[in-house]
Amino acid sequence: MNEVILDVELRTSGSKGNLSSLKKDGKVPAIFYGKNVKTESISVIAKAFASIIEENGANVIIDLNFKDGKKPAIVKEIQRDVLTQAPIHIDFHAISLEDKVEVLVPIHIDGVAYGVKNFGATMEFIVREVRVKALPKSIPQKISVDVSHLGIGQGITIAGLPKLDGVDYVQDPSTMIVNVIATKIEEEKPVDAAAVAGTEPAQPEVISKGKKDKESEEGVAAAPAAKK
């Protein structure tokens, strides 16, 4: 494993003015803490930190370079700006290379599920990170999962994740990671003619009605004359 070094500066925590000044200088406020170490308020260069994470992943071991020497740490938490997603505060947790630590490792999906490719099913990606326990130098950057064999109704749980040397999964083994489900197709409902009309259909107009009415009137009028 390559050594990753990040220079740090001690800072005075607190005022908004100090935080604004750090931002203008291209730095990010941070804190360094852990077992049997002195908690320190520090700052790091934003671009240098971003480059380390981009090249090595979020679980990289970083040797924080203090004036009195290097101290190994991992990134425990990154607070980000809601709009830009730029880091606005970083938590560095001191570690011992001889002690196991618990961290979250991202899941990476390999392949296309058989049910998705051949039957138009949908794959649910339910859990995107899994908690593991391992020595710092054994922590994987990601855990790859092959889903190409999954048919409809099949999935992969934590118990089905690949076994990695020196890495223990500490979450419930039955936790579902991915699941392939059938795509629901809405059936076309038959049209209820009566419901659509709402009323009785209109009666066709009788064109001869006027003629019959006229003949009826004439018949009534002619009846008295026939008595004579």
pLDDT confidence of residue 201: 53
Strands (E), 12-61: 27-33, 40-45
Cα–Cα distance, 92 to 29 (Å, whole number) = 11
pLDDT confidence of residue 226: 46
| Nearest in space to 174 (alpha carbons), one of 161, 193, 158 | 158
pLDDT tens figures, 93-149: 999 989 999 999 999 999 999 999 999 999 999 999 999 999 998 999 899 999 999
DSSP state of 171: S
CATH 2.170.120.20 fits 103-181, yes or no: yes
> What strands lie across the sheet with 122-125, from one edge to the other?
122-125, 176-181, 155-157
In the chain, where are the structural domains located?
Answer: 5-95, 103-181
Buried b (16+ CB within 10 A) or exposed e, 169-178: bebeeeeebb
5-95: CATH class: mainly beta
Cα–Cα distance, 135 to 158 (Å, whole number) = 20
pLDDT confidence of residue 78: 95
Query: Within the chain, which residues score under 50 in pLDDT?
Result: 207-212, 214-228
C-beta separation of 175 from 141 below 8 A: no
